[in-house]
Amino acid sequence: MSGWTGQVAFVTGGVTGIGLGVAQALSDAGLRLALSYRNEDHRAQTAEWFAAKGREVPLFVKLDVTDRAAFADAAAQVETHFGAVHVLVNNAGVSVFGPSDEASYDDYDWIMGVNFGGVVNGLVSFLPRIKAASGLRHVVNVASMAAFLPGPQAGIYTASKFAVRGLTESLRYNLAPHGIGCSLCCPALTRTNAWDSALKRPDAFAESGFAPADRAELEQFGGAFEAGMDPYEVGQKVFRGMARNDGLILTHPEFQDDFREIYEKSVAALPQEDAPPERLHIERLRREAMKAAEAGQIIRLDDLT
């Protein structure tokens, strides 16, 4: 038995892929689950998995994460069903690629609306309830290694994941004084069906600047996902990171060269000159404030000057 036993978690996109892997790992740890879904067959398959394991079948909530009213209703439904909610895992997303110089407003609105807007909607809907709950509580925002590594076909997708990264790293400081943990999870290649997102484009965002989705090309791209990590392994790493209250959860080990290059390029880009004492003082205050915030102190603007 762990301190997480009996706590309630809501996982978006929780019936397939990484979301399902996270749900399974949380169930292993004794958490009770509410899972959002879009596809009825996937919901039924997930219910069968939990029943076959002799586990409590999750509360399933049909949800489009871009629908703010529906998200608010989902939060109320989860709280009514369980009495409280302690963990939010913002996982739902779309993997859509194309050159940014050809993108339309619909491309930006759809991808950013799901991948970043869905996280925002989850936070606004669930954080008041998580703050009101007791015991261990946590927020996990699932981004991607694209939050660190851009690419020529992934501009909008990368922008959405960079945005989730920045929001989550800042939110961690805001939640610490409330005794709520916060983690950014950046998985890499995982054995999921995320490659087919472009085939599910909503009619409301039909005016794309990208070339029309080609199923054969996408299936070839999807073949790479078969080499990916098992979603359950990702889920286990997410829970372990959450239990340790890690600010950053990286699930794949194969990026040491990339991170070293990012670090070296960043340091090399800094001007080789002395900064004036006044600026050094402000940055010292910023660093001290960040440490104090992570330790649980509420930081106000006047703490930064």
* Active site (catalytic) residues: 157
Tokens of 279: 């600026």
CA distance 192 to 94: 12
H or E segment at 186?
strand 181-186
213 within 8 A of 176, measured Cβ to Cβ: no
Tokens of 303: 């703490």
- Helices and strands (H and E) in the chain: how many: 10, 7
Classify 199 in phi/psi space as left (phi over 0), alpha (psi -120 to 50) or beta.
alpha
Q: Please report how the helices 68-82 and 117-132 are oriented relative to each other, as an axis angle in degrees rounded to 10.
A: 30
CA distance 179 to 182: 10
Q: Residue holding tokens 């989730």?
A: 164
Q: Is 231 helix (H, G, I), strand (E, B) or coil?
A: helix
CA distance 120 to 141: 10
The torsion of the CA quartet 168, 171, 172, 174, rounded to 10 degrees, works out to 180
User: 220-258: b or e for each residue (b if 16 or more CB lie within 10 Å)?
Assistant: ebeeebeebbebbbbbbbbbebbeeebeebbbbeebeee
Distances (CA, A) of 6 to 29, 31, 136: 9, 5, 10
